Amino acid sequence: MMASLVGAAAPFLALLVGCSSFSFLRSTPKEKPTPKVAREAPAHEDSEPARLPSRFQVRVAPVLFLSDYQLHPDLPLFSELADLRDQIQKDLALPPATETVKVYLFETEKQYRSYLRTEYPELYKLGRRAFFIAQPRPGGEDLLVFTYDSKRIRQDLRHELTHALLHGVIKEVPQWLDEGLAEYYEQPPGQNGVNPEHVQRLRADLASGRARLSLPRLEKLTQVDDMKPPEYRESWAWAHLMLRGKPEARAVLLAYLQQLRGAKHPGPLAPRLEKVYSAPDEALTAHLARLEAELSRQQADAR
């Protein structure tokens, strides 16, 4: 996950995500609040051992949301996430994800962090707002997402559920591609996967020489720690180029995903993309310039 959304893109995103997501998962005030008596030991809450939320459940197959605060199945977020599931399957020509994904929605950041600190100290140290993990168990693995009710929950859920849904049908998604697709699909519907902040940062960093585009370099990164914000941005950009550039590039990506489902790892993707774009880095630079021009036009129209 990206740590922050700042700068010129923020007002644009605020319009699309903004305040409406703040209470995405909450009852509106006029609805009946959860009775306090339902809690077993409110006085000792702070000293309770960290545990997983479980009292309320909503299923959006194959995803099961669990929380200790009331979830309303008819919240727009849930139908949006069902659309996301269908869109990923259709865009990427993947079979339906059927493996259950459990999404644990903690009520507060404190509860979330306290649980992670106890159960997943390594994840806790990374300090992120949301995680997806595939946890081995006898006979398979559990697909789990942990997060809490924050202002960014919509984007965080879209991001982590992309990981989970991909993982349900492809066991080994290369790290750059996993993050690139998650960054693409975390964008709200209607935005065509465009992350305005990524576009602006990449354009600025390319102009100043701080960034250099290289898919072969990204493909060599295998450790979680290798992925820093610049790597997330660049992974997003390659995913966007393949999904929104030439149809042949999309075909390369889709064929590659199918091969990743097989028993034998298909090796790097970059050489295949070179058959579509003789100079992929230049093609991506031009793609980003087009996206920037489009964003400027949209901003001008909105004024």
Please identify, using beta-carbon distances, which residue of 157 and 276 lies nearer to Zn ion: 157
Count the residues of the shown chain that bind Zn ion, applying the rule CB under 5 A: 2
Residue 20 CB neighbour total at 10 angstroms: 12
Residue nearest to Zn ion (CB): 182
Q: Closest Cα partner for 166 from 192, 197, 134, 213?
A: 134
Q: Which is nearer to Zn ion, 182 or 253 (CB)?
A: 182
Please, what is the minimum distance in Å from the beta carbon of residue 61 to Zn ion? Answer: 22
* Options 23-31, 88-96, 174-182, 189-197: segment touching Zn ion (CB under 5 A): 174-182
Confirm or reject binding of residue 215 to Zn ion (CB under 5 A). no
What tokens were used for 197?
A: 């902040």
Asked if 145 is part of the footprint of Zn ion (rule: CB under 5 A), the reply reads no
Q: What letter does residue 151 receive in the DSSP assignment? A: T
> What is the distance between the alpha carbons of residues 224 and 277, in angstroms, rounded to a whole number?
29
Q: With respect to Zn ion, which residue has the nearer C-beta, 114 or 147?
A: 147
Residue number, 65 or 176, with CB nearest to Zn ion: 176
Q: Would you say 149 or 179 has its CB closer to Zn ion?
A: 179
280: number of Cβ within 10 Å: 25
How much is the CA Rg of the chain, to the nearest whole Å? 20
Give me the least distance between CB of 3 and Zn ion, in Å please. Answer: 12
Residues 227 and 152: their CA atoms lie apart, in Å, by 20
**Alpha helices for 92-225 (secondary structure H):** 109-119, 121-126, 153-169, 175-185, 196-208, 215-219
List the x/- string, 179-208, binding to Zn ion by CB under 5 A.
x--x--------------------------
HEC assignment per residue over 196-215: HHHHHHHHHHHHHCCCCCCH
Q: How far is the CB of 199 from Zn ion (least distance, A)?
A: 19
Q: Which is nearer to Zn ion, 94 or 295 (CB)?
A: 94
Query: Segment near Zn ion (CB under 5 A), from 2-10, 48-56, 75-83, 178-186?
Result: 178-186
Least distance between Zn ion and beta carbon 5 (Å): 15
Which of 143/276 has CB closer to Zn ion?
143
**Hey, which residues does 144 pair with through a beta bridge?**
102, 133
Structure-block tokens of residue 266: 């298909």
Concatenated DSSP letters for 246-267?
-HHHHHHHHHHHHHHTSSS---
166 forms part of the interface with Zn ion (CB under 5 A):
no
Minimum CB–partner distance for residue 167 and Zn ion (Å)? 11
Least Å distance, CB 295 to Zn ion, is 23
Binding part of the chain for Zn ion, among 90-98, 112-120, 135-143, 175-183 by CB under 5 A, reads 175-183
Distance CA 265, CA 256 (A): 10
Q: Which stretch binds Zn ion (CB under 5 A): 21-29, 62-70, 88-96, 177-185?
A: 177-185
Query: Between residues 149 and 160, which has the closer beta carbon with respect to Zn ion?
Result: 160
User: What letters, b where the CB count within 10 A reaches 16 and e where it falls short, cover 77-108?
Assistant: bbebbeebbeebeebbebeebeeebbbbbbee
Please state the closest distance from residue 72 (CB atom) to Zn ion, in A. 27
Site residues, Zn ion (CB under 5 A): 179, 182
